Amino acid sequence: MPTLHDVARHAGVSIATVSRVLRGISSIAPDTRERVLSSVAALGYAPNPLGQALRAGHINAVALLVGDIEQGWYASLARDMQVALEEEGMDLLLFNLGHSETRLREVLERAVSMRLRGVALATSDHIPGAALEPVRARLAEAGIALIAVGRNLEEIGIPSVAHDDEQASRIAVGHLVQRGYTPIAYMSRIRKSATGRVRFAGYLAGLAEHGIARDPAMEWDIAESYRFKAGYNVMRDAIARGVGMRSVIAGSDELALGAMAAARDAGLRIPEDVAVLGFGGLEWGGYVRPALTTLDADTSAFGKGFCTVLKALAGGGSAPPVSLVPRRLIARESA
C-alpha cells in the first residue's frame, strides 16, 4: 500500500507539501498541486482516515450509550443514529450500560482516551450527576460533547434531545378516557427510572385533568426491566388480586405485549375487557393481534437532532439546553 512518503518521492516534493495539497491549502503552486495529485492517482494512494483524525485530535466517531441493548427501542435508535452520523461522515460505536452506574463512568472515561467526537447518552436510569462531574470535566476539556438522547437532562447541565414524555402520558390518559376505558392503571419502572417518573407525572396530571381521583392500586411500579416477562408477571398478579382496571398504560411496547398475553391467558378480551396502550411505536406492534395502540418514538428525529446539537457545540459553541420531539399516538385495536 503506497504511503505519503511514496507520493512525495514520486512527485519530487516534500512530505509536508503532499500533506498541504491533500488538506486543500490554497498557497500551493498550481503546477505543484497538479503533480502531487497526478502522483496520488498513479500510485493509488488513499489517506489513512484514522491517522488524519488522530492528527486533528479526535476520531470521527460517536459513542452511543444505551441502557438495555435488548430493549427494542434502543435497536431502532442505534440504526437511525448510525444513518444520521454516516451522513455527517462519522461512525457509531455502541456500548450497552446494562443499567449500571459503574459501567456508565467506565465508558465515559474510555470516551476521553479514545478521542471521540461526542457521546450520546441514551438511558432511562438515574444519572449520578455529582459523581460524574470529574469525568464530565475531562470530556469538556477534550472537546468531547456529551448529549442526552431520549430524555431531558437539562437540569444537570447536559444538552438533550428528548421526547415530551409527560405530555405523551397525558395524551394517553385522554385517549383512554374518551373511549370509556376507565379506571386506568399505569405500569412502568417509576422509582428506578427517571423517564418512568416523568411519564408517571404525566399520567397523574392526565387523571387530574379529567377529574379522576388517584388510586394507588392502579399504580404498578416495576422493579425489573421494561421487557415482556415483567409486563406479563405484573398484569397476571393484578388480575389474580382482582384489581378492577379497565385499561393499562405500559411504559414500553414490550411491557404492553407481556400484559396483553397475561390478560389473554386469564380469559380476558382486548379491548372489550381491558384495553392496553404502550410506549415506543415498535414496528411489530402493528402486526400482533390485536394490534397495539402506542405512543411512537421518532428515532430518526433523535439521530438528526443529535447531529445538529453536536455541530452547534463544535469548537466551544452553544446549543439549546433541550430540543423536544413530540410523540404521536398511533391508535389501533388494543385501545
Evaluate if residue 49 carries a pLDDT over 80: no
Cell of 280: 415506543
CB-based contact 248:181 (threshold 8 Å) = no
**pLDDT score, position 39:** 84
113 Cβ contact partners less than 8 Å away, ≥ 6 residues apart = none
Confidence of residue 27 (pLDDT cuts 50, 70, 90): confident
Task: Let me know if domain 55-162+299-325 sits in CATH 3.40.50.620.
Answer: no
- Confidence band, pLDDT 50/70/90 cuts, at residue 69: confident
Hunting for cell 514520486 — which residue is that?
10
How far is Cα 220 from Cα 276, in angstroms, rounded to an integer? Answer: 14
User: Domain limits of the chain?
Assistant: 4-47, 55-162+299-325, 165-296
Mean pLDDT of 79-91: 92
Contacts of 253 (CB under 8 A, 6+ apart): 72, 73, 278, 279, 280, 281, 282, 284, 285, 292, 294
What is the residue-wise DSSP string for 262-279?
Answer: HHHHTT--TTTT-EEEEE
Q: What is the CATH number of domain 4-47?
A: 1.10.260.40
What separation in angstroms does the CA of 102 have from each of 65, 106, 119, 128, 139?
Answer: 13, 6, 17, 10, 17
- End-to-end CA separation in angstroms for the chain: 62
Report residue 96: phi and psi, to 5°.
Answer: -95, 125
Instruction: Check: CB of residue 262 under 8 Å from CB of residue 232.
Output: yes
The CB-based long-range contact list for 261-265 (8 Å cut-off, 24+ gap) reads 261/228, 261/231, 261/232, 262/231, 262/232, 262/233, 262/235, 262/236, 263/235, 263/239, 265/236
Which helix (H) or strand (E) segment holds residue 236: the answer is helix 228-241
Quick: pLDDT tens for 230-246: 999 999 999 999 999 99
Q: What is the pLDDT of residue 326?
A: 86
Q: Does the fold of domain 165-296 match that of domain 55-162+299-325?
A: yes
Per CATH, the homologous superfamily of domain 165-296 is: Response regulator (3.40.50.2300)
**What pTM was computed for the model?**
0.72
